Amino acid sequence: MLRREATGCALAAIGPPKMGIPAKLSWYIRSQQQGVEVEVPVKSSTAIADDSVDISVVIPCLNEANSLGICVDKALGAFRSAGLKGEVIVADNGSTDGSQEIAQNCGASVVPAPQRGYGAALQAGIRASRGQFIIMGDADDSYDFTEVPKFVSKWREGHDLVMGNRFRGGIKPGAMPWHHKYIGNPGLTRIMNLFFRTGIGDCYCGMRGFTRDIFDRMDLRSTGMEFAPEMVIKASQLGARINEVAITLWPDKRGRPPHLRSFRDGWRTLRFMLLYAPNWLFLLPGTTLMLVGLGLACWLLPGPRHITDRVELDLRTMVLGVIFTLMGAQIIALGLFVKVFSYAERFDRNPVSLKRMLRHVQLEHGLALGGILFLAGFAGCAWTAWQWAASGFGPLYVGMRAVLFWSMWMFLGLQVIFSSFFLSMLGISRDTYIGDYER
């Protein structure tokens, strides 16, 4: 027999650690533990809420022996003090320091998460939970689980997602690196609010609560740190009622380097937000580039323009304008491809502008617009060629502006035609037909 003390609860371990098995399990996967193949319960979908449990606290864990017991004790104590019917689920991501044993001896259920990653561990724990309202938080005791009743109170007021806000509640000295506190978290939060209008003050707070219904509807797919922003983005897109509570962030007690990598995970979060915001990534830059290009091409069509006595914009600048126009049109087309793909794959759940467009714009409209642009450009080029022939095939430089201008419209027409075909094919290939996006 091996007996040892850990901060937060006393442990008495005999033999290999046992795994807590939640109720209503739907299927099993195989897992390796201490060289023995055992059956581990994992849900294929979110568990049905159990009337005996109102609140589930889910804690992702990877080698958190120093602090996990404290977190479990605080959560269970919060249930008792507030009169809540709750459970604590520890989603273990492959710990080798005895964290599983600590969790079970403190009264938590342990659910193995074979797939590595912050998001993967949380999803495994959430799917095994039974509560109507789920609260997630880290296992390093940086979040105080005695604050669980704050989240429950907001849920009972009718909110679907309750976010913790560390900046409103207070960040203790040494709890957060300065570049996270003053640059990373505020910057990413501002970008998220700009892109998705979430209206929150701390997008990366790891302590938050949400209803089982909204979790099912969000269809979260991220397995890494992107899980946190994906939840906020999708909840906002679904029109969920979101609120915040002030919480305190404390210095962690993990006793090891953090799993978070500041620049790597910060970039991954920014990249994720950009991929979920095609309007900002594609349509806005593409439209800006196209308008600038069209402006230059039309402005320089009559002849050279003098900015100052020494600066003159002429044919080369007009060529640049044509390139900008065609490049901008291509970026816009890519943005439309991404928007249709995102809606077909249910990444974007509430694309109001896209729905309106798809109700009224069909493949034939795109072909008609592209055909008009192409024919106008072709006619202009033909007229320029006829004038050149009529002049005895003299120097073409005289008509080069017209050639550039009308060729630009001809190429734009071709882009519109082929982009329209691809948009239609993209919708069909994803079982989401153009004009039939309401089903």
169: closest CA among 112, 238, 248, 98?
248
CATH number, domain 2-275: 3.90.550.10
311 burial class (0-12, 13-18, 19+ CB within 10 angstroms)?
A: exposed
Q: Over range 64-76, report the average pLDDT.
A: 94
What is the per-residue pLDDT for 375? 96
Distance of alpha carbon 317 from alpha carbon 312, whole angstroms: 9
Q: Which amino acid is at 82?
A: A
Confidence check: pLDDT of 224 > 80: yes
What is the per-residue pLDDT for 44? 39
What is the per-residue pLDDT for 56? 96
Per-residue pLDDT reduced to its tens digit, 250-279: 998 876 666 667 777 778 888 888 888 888
Per-residue pLDDT reduced to its tens digit, 181-193: 888 889 999 999 9
Which DSSP state fits 283? I
Distances (CA, A) of 48 to 24, 116, 212, 215: 8, 25, 9, 12
pTM recorded for the entire structure: 0.74
Confidence band for 9, pLDDT divided at 50, 70 and 90: low
Confidence check: pLDDT of 414 > 80: yes
Question: Residues 6 or more apart from 304 whose CB is under 8 A from it?
Answer: 312, 313, 314, 315
Range of weakest confidence among 36-40, 71-75, 289-293:
36-40
Distance of alpha carbon 253 from alpha carbon 335, whole angstroms: 45
Distance of alpha carbon 131 from alpha carbon 85, whole angstroms: 9
Residue-wise DSSP of 157-205: TT-SEEEEEHHHH-B-TTSS-HHIIIIIHHHHHHHHHHHH----S-TT-
Confidence check: pLDDT of 424 > 70: yes
Yes or no: say if 141 and 71 are a contact pair by the CB < 8 Å rule.
yes
> What residue segments make up the domains of the chain, in order of their start?
2-275, 278-429
Confidence band for 353, pLDDT divided at 50, 70 and 90: low
The pLDDT mean for the chain works out to 82
Distance of alpha carbon 306 from alpha carbon 358, whole angstroms: 45
Distance of alpha carbon 403 from alpha carbon 408, whole angstroms: 8
Confidence check: pLDDT of 49 > 60: no
What is the per-residue pLDDT for 213? 94
Per-residue pLDDT reduced to its tens digit, 336-348: 888 877 776 666 6
Which DSSP state fits 143? B
Per-residue pLDDT reduced to its tens digit, 371-386: 999 999 999 999 888 8
